[in-house]
Amino acid sequence: MEVADEGCKAWKNCLVPVWVKFFNIPHEYWTKEGLSYVASAVGKPFYANSLTETMKRISYARICVKIDATSKLIDSFDLLMGEGDEHNNRESVEILVEYQWKPKICSE
């Protein structure tokens, strides 16, 4: 059995898979590439569940994302939409994020 030493240094550079729900995704991002782009805001997209892939439930997308166990997890982020106007102004949409599980981080 591995025992973590002082400060839980064993978590450093450790990617853990976590199921994440993303709410308020615009319709045009409901593609494999679009969902991957959205999920990359919190980590490395790994797998989407079947309801998300087939768009049978579009109230949220559920994606398994590899997350650095030492990183701060966000609850929301702004997704910039479109190409913008002549002044490079772009509309944004707030994406809400919910984690099924969060790794416990020990303080250093």
The pLDDT of 33-48, averaged and rounded, is 95
Highest mean pLDDT: which range of 17-21, 51-55, 89-93: 17-21
Other CB atoms within a 10 A radius of the CB of residue 60 amount to 18
pLDDT band with cut points at 50, 70 and 90 for residue 15: confident
- Provide the mean pLDDT of the chain: 84
* Nearest alpha carbon to residue 74 among 102, 44, 46: 102
Amino acid 8: pLDDT = 54
Which residue is listed with tokens 């559920």? 62
pLDDT of 82 strictly over 90: no
| % of the chain beyond a pLDDT of 90 | 53
